[in-house]
Structure 1
Amino acid sequence: MTANGGINQQRVAVCNAVVVARLLNSTLVIPKFMFSSVWRDVSQFSDIYQEEHFIEYLTSDIRIVKELPEELRSLDLEAIGSVVSDVDMGKEAKPSFYLKHILLPILLKNQVVHFVGFGNRLAFDPIPFELQRLRCRCNFYALRFVPRIQETGALLLKRLRQHTGHIGLLDPYLIGPFAASILEGRGNHSKKASKYLSLHLRFEIDMVAHSLCEFGGGEGERKELAAYREIHFPALAHLEKTTKLPSPSEIRSEGLCPLTPEEAVLMLAALGFNRKTHIFVAGSNLYGGQSRLTALTSLYPNLVTKENLLSSTELEPFANYSSQLAALDFIGCTAADAFAMTDSGSQLSSLVSGYRIYYGGGKMPTIRPNKRRLASIFTKNSTIEWRVFEQRVRKAVRQTKHVQTRPKGRSIYRYPRCRECMCRIE
């Protein structure tokens, strides 16, 4: 299997590949990661995850090897029809699809099948209990970051908590043995831990361009985003030219536009986060550059990113490896005392919130805004009193804060609260 996208899309693809291998009673070759023109990262599985742990942890479920056997390696897989791309199968295909279209006509005939661009290609329902549980085990236990990511992640958490020698509830699962290093040199009388809020600003150019929204940049912005879509989202660019799509204002009214950093500031302020709040921002490679952070930093002077907290020497091993840098963001967001997302549909936000539910024991709050309601509120913010604005924003967020059992058909990575994933549901 070869997965596309960034680290979070790749993580989902790996979990799905494990389950498909079990379903087809086949051996899984350690997944490969495609080079993306968006992420520009050559990282492979072993650069991000502990390969031996992955293989050993899942050994009772499936057989995993690092390379194809010699006799299969020399085959022209495309010529014999053993290559299956994402255009050959729909999103969230049911297990029956794999048994009918992959097992019999390809795998049993050729002994090998290569999924290219594999991602969200396995349904969440209906799926046998054991397969769903395996997908959960892979996500929460089998995928463990490599030591150098864990070690730097521990350093990041230590500085986020201002060296108070506090081990967080999720630290052991995120940074493994390096959690103990957070206590080094603090003795038994460390001061009270400094709490922080993590914020995922999903406002990179790929999200902005794909949304078809407008963000106040006028004709220059429209041309820039249209040019980006021509290169990176050609199917969407073609659709723009051949189909009457909803206008940017209509898309915004439906809550389908990513929140801007300025809108994120308004949301946090309305929720009662004051100037003293310590905020860790992930996804800081914002469309429009660092100037888009001005509104946030002017109201929240204690705002930091991994680039602020880690020296250039400490970050140097991860330079030009966006997936490995994203792993550090994942650690910083997941371990936070509170986590706020600006786009509930992004993979990072979904995986982080699911991880916090799984290991957090109900003590790790996540702020997941109702963007449709917020869009309605924001369009009136020039004529609305602040007190009323606060009430409406809090109501829009309050409706989404309850941790619920997994709805049918929804992601087990985002909603792990179900019998297949958790021993008990609190």
Structure 2
Amino acid sequence: MARGKNLKNPFLTLSPSAIFQLFSLSPINSPLLSSKKSPRKHHSLCTPPAISFLFLSLMVSFTSSAVVVLRLMFPPQDSVPCSLTSPSPSSWNRAASSSYFQLLLDSDSDSKEELKMENGVMVPLPVHAMVGNLSEEEREFWKQPDGEGFRPCLDFSIEYRKKSVKISKEKRRFLMVVASGGLNQQRNQIVDAVVIARILEAALVVPVLQVNLIWEDESEFPDIFDVEHFKRTLQSDVRIVSSLPSTHLIPRQSIHNQIPHHVSPLWIRSRFFKQLNEEGVLILKGLDSKLSKNLPADLQKLRCKVAFHALRFVAPIQELGNQLARRMWIEGPYIAIHLRLEKDVWVRTGCLTGLGPEYDEIITRTQETEPKYLTGRLNISHSRRRLSGLCPLNAFEMARLLKALGAPSSARMYLAGGKPFGGSKALQPLAAKFPNLVTKEMLAREDELSPYTKKSSALAAIDYIVSLSSEVFIPSHGGNMARTMKGHRSFIGHRKYITPDKRAMVPFLEDSTLSDTEFKSLMTKMHRKSQGQPEPRNKKRDRDVIAYPVPECMCKHGSSIF
């Protein structure tokens, strides 16, 4: 929902004029209680006390009612609502859709209005009502998943809260963390940094963002995230400071970066607590996927609190992202695609681009001359990697999948991600099927993106904001943004999220004997259960709670308590 000085809440059943009517009906305007003197003075003296008392009671009653309604219209900023979600498809009717659409039309599209934030949660623009001459197939495609009653519920245990009294005031032990990678990889490491600080009962210094080797982005934490909001949101969980106190010296020992994968809280405490107590400072680097995905319930909730509440983008980025999202939304429902076709993705995955031998040769040569790009040993063939589902879907494959799932050719698509390797040639197969392709560069007006020309993290944040408000989100490849977006869309109202089953799809993509009808039937059955329905994290081992917030961070019975 948008919020601005001149905007009304489209979900109210009472208009402001109705409030004033309540006041106009109030006995405060009655001649019997008027402060003006009556021409006949004895009338004011002859008013029976019982009648005066009756009108006074009515006045109090009406005033109380008006206050209640006003509180419903304009809740206090520090209140925690029972649900932090946008209206579900079932409750989002045509009238509300029309009202919201008119509200956007009436507002200044260039104004710097932020989407409404409830305790840091980005509330996306509402889903559109399904109106018009839509086929059954198109209706099914745009249909939002049933949330099954799951809502955010970050209700920490009494034991956790008791320990918080001491931990939130810690001034002797400090944890410093260096987060590496792209924006969403850094986000995940920041989440775990907060959890590790909690485990070690240490204060956390605002994390350092390492310069990215691939994009050479030198952005620091305050350039991307709202530091004060970060501190304030987590003040009851972990003490967070902007810098290390002058009373503490950084120890001579090297930074700890040799941490095994999937370590437990017990391992963290036994390995670092004594050193932290003695030296007062601990520096950790390379936290990516090092902390176990299976933590006690309170620490899982803390992960969600950091990811979905505390890590809010700075105002300029948030405002620009909101503006671009509104420009997409106002034209109707749209699909956001995280199309992983950048050069570094092909280099890291060791997959063929599908663009021809000359492009594949460039990728192979880069792998040999720039080993810093590689994230793992590429010791299996291209074909085996593809059959194992380890390669991104290219533009042709994404187009076939979307058509098979019922996406209309007229659908607008927002392409998140960097510039594809191969330029327009890489996108041509998708553009041929879906001509309404839009990027942030196309949406933005003159100079809006100029402050972020060489700031890949800020551009990724803008993609994230616009993608969050889309009716449908689909990634061409897994990764940190895909996982975080999956959980975030669930957390804010169960927005449709399609998870391509690449491993199962590839044999059918390569089968030229299949007709479009047969391929469509196969894809529909294959992806029926992977389109945003609540899926418990504990259904499979080692799932990330950020991607699967049910049941630790979302429940059917409970409020969204911090």
Question: Could you tell me the TM-score, scaled by structure 2's length?
Answer: 0.65
SS of equivalent residue, structure 1 residue 198? strand
Identity value in percent: 33
SS of equivalent residue, structure 2 residue 337? strand
| 2:452 is the counterpart of 1:303 | no
Q: Distance in 1 between matches of 2:318 and 2:399?
A: 30
SS of equivalent residue, structure 1 residue 91? coil
Q: Confirm or deny: 8 A CA contact 1:282 1:333 kept in the other structure.
A: yes
1:368 aligns with 499
- Pair 1:312–1:421, CA change in 2 (3 A): same
Q: Confirm or deny: 8 A CA contact 1:53 1:144 kept in the other structure.
A: yes
Number of residue pairs matched by the alignment: 379
1:134 aligns with 302
1:4-403, aligned counterparts within 5 Å?
A: 4-73=180-249, 75=250, 77=251, 79-81=252-254, 83-85=255-257, 88-104=258-274, 106-125=275-294, 127-162=295-330, 194-217=332-355, 219-230=357-368, 232-234=370-372, 236=374, 239-240=377-378, 245-343=379-477, 345-360=478-493, 362=494, 364-380=495-511, 382-401=512-531, 402-403=533-534
- Pair 1:2–1:255, CA change in 2 (3 A): same
Which structure has more relative contact order (CA 8 Å, sep 6+)? It is: 2
> How far 1:300 moved relative to its partner?
1.3
User: Which segments of structure 1 move beyond 6 Å, counting only runs of 4 or more?
Assistant: none
Q: Confirm or deny: 8 A CA contact 1:6 1:323 kept in the other structure.
A: yes
Q: Confirm or deny: 8 A CA contact 1:377 1:393 kept in the other structure.
A: no
Q: Deviations over 1:69-105 (max 9, x none)?
A: 11334x3x3x334x111xx11222211221121212x
- Which amino acid letter does the alignment assign opposite residue 365 of structure 1? K
SS of equivalent residue, structure 1 residue 28? strand
> How far 1:388 moved relative to its partner?
0.5
- Pair 1:159–1:235, CA change in 2 (3 A): closer
SS of equivalent residue, structure 1 residue 354? helix
Q: Confirm or deny: 8 A CA contact 2:259 2:287 kept in the other structure.
A: no
Which structure: larger Rg? 2
- Runs of at least 5 residues in structure 2 that lack an aligned partner in the other structure: 1-176
Question: Could you tell me the TM-score, scaled by structure 1's length?
Answer: 0.84
Q: Deviations over 1:142-177 (max 9, x none)?
A: 1111110111012101210236xxxxxxxxxxxxxx
- Pair 1:63–1:405, CA change in 2 (3 A): same
> How far 1:228 moved relative to its partner?
2.6
Q: Confirm or deny: 8 A CA contact 2:208 2:221 kept in the other structure.
A: yes
Q: Confirm or deny: 8 A CA contact 1:4 1:35 kept in the other structure.
A: yes
> How far 1:305 moved relative to its partner?
0.7
SS of equivalent residue, structure 1 residue 229? helix
- Pair 1:219–1:385, CA change in 2 (3 A): closer
Q: Distance in 1 between matches of 2:192 and 2:375?
A: 29
Deviates more, 1:90-99 or 1:15-24: 90-99
Q: Distance in 1 between matches of 2:371 and 2:267?
A: 27
Q: Deviations over 1:200-230 (max 9, x none)?
A: 1122222211212223455544442233334
Q: Distance in 1 between matches of 2:312 and 2:369?
A: 34
- Which amino acid letter does the alignment assign opposite residue 117 of structure 1? G
Q: Distance in 1 between matches of 2:315 and 2:377?
A: 44
RMSD, aligned α-carbons: 2.0
Q: Confirm or deny: 8 A CA contact 1:230 1:237 kept in the other structure.
A: no
